[in-house]
Structure 1
């Protein structure tokens, strides 16, 4: 579904991504793990169109979208849940979710998708009239994911969805990611909690200082001595 070919990204003189290549197949959960500053967030931001690459290609369903705008990428099936949740605090839960469908015109299907989000996140249904800024951190993360799903994406980009959450909520968020994937949405996940990410990922890439240094199935990387020492505390 998604192919990134030899992607280079600069921030001024800083060469942040140095030839990143990866693929995400239809129906997969693929995770990117690596240390802070390795280039994980930059990779997602470039795929979603928030950062322009210096060179390289981004292909979605066989179509080169490297020069497409961020808005166009949402329209054709890429939805991005950024690090830090970024909900619209002064708007209600329902208004946040409706904004996720702002490029869509199919009102009946939007209503169906809203029901699906409320089925997936019952707490959001209970709080649909509540201001998003008054939700807990875990609830805001659920809202951010729900809002992204309202665009009916082919692929969902998730950046650090467990950041700042209590351990029980972390487990809940990862269960939700599995549910989203089992319902037909492909997922590209960036996550500091490497153990949890590898447990649910079909495949994984390890990124260090802007380069992919290792790849394999989630299970293979869980068993790698190198990964255990660097990321799993083993």
Structure 2
């Protein structure tokens, strides 16, 4: 479904991604693990059109999306839940969700998807008239994910969904990610909590200083000493 081939991305003179390649098949949950500053968020921003690669190619459903405008990429079926959530604090929960569907014209479908988001996140339904800025961190994360789903993506990019959340809420968010996957949405997940990410992923890539250094199934990575000592808290 998505093929990233040998991309180089720069911030000014600093090279953030060095020849990164990966692929995601339809229906998979693929996770990227790596330390802070390794290039994980940069890769998501490049796929979603917020950054432009200097070299390489990005193919979505066999068509090039490299260098296309972010809104064009959303229209083609990719939604990005950014790190830090970026919700619209002064708007209500419902208004935030409706904004996620701004490129859509199918009113009945939008209503249906709003119901689906409220089923996935009952807490958002309870707070639908509240302004988003009054929500807790976990609720804001749910809102950011719900808003992205309102664009009806075929591929969902999730950047650090568990960051700053209490352990119990992290479990809830990961359960919901699995539910979203079961409804047919393909997911690329960037996550500091490598244990949790590997527990739900089909495959994983490890990024270090802008390069993919390892890839494989969660079982393969769980048995790698390199991964264990660096990311899984083992020795």
TM-score range relative to shorter protein:
over 0.9
**Using the alignment, how far apart are the partners of 1:118 and 1:215 within structure 2?**
35
Deviations 1:90-149 (A, max 9, x none): 000000000000000000000000000000001111111000000000000000000000
1:199–1:219 contact (8 Å) kept in structure 2: no
Report the equivalent of 1:154: 154
Report how many residues are paired.
Answer: 234
Structure 1: tracts of 5 or more residues without a match: none
- The alpha carbon displacement at 1:78 in A equals 0.5
- Listed as ranges, the matches of 1:38-117 within 5 Å are 38-117=38-117
Structure 2: tracts of 5 or more residues without a match: none
**Using the alignment, how far apart are the partners of 2:12 and 2:225 within structure 1?**
36
**Using the alignment, how far apart are the partners of 2:153 and 2:216 within structure 1?**
25
Report the equivalent of 2:135: 135
Secondary structure of 1:9 counterpart: strand
Report the equivalent of 1:195: 195
**Using the alignment, how far apart are the partners of 2:101 and 2:2 within structure 1?**
22
2:6–2:57 contact (8 Å) kept in structure 1: yes
**Using the alignment, how far apart are the partners of 1:86 and 1:123 within structure 2?**
19
Secondary structure of 2:46 counterpart: helix
Secondary structure of 1:88 counterpart: coil
**Using the alignment, how far apart are the partners of 2:64 and 2:218 within structure 1?**
28
- The alpha carbon displacement at 1:154 in A equals 0.7
Report the equivalent of 1:173: 173
Normalising by structure 1, what TM-score? Answer: 0.99
Normalising by structure 2, what TM-score? Answer: 0.99
Deviations 1:12-56 (A, max 9, x none): 110110000000100000000001110000000000000111111
Q: Mean alpha-carbon deviation: is it higher for 100-109 or for 222-231?
A: 222-231
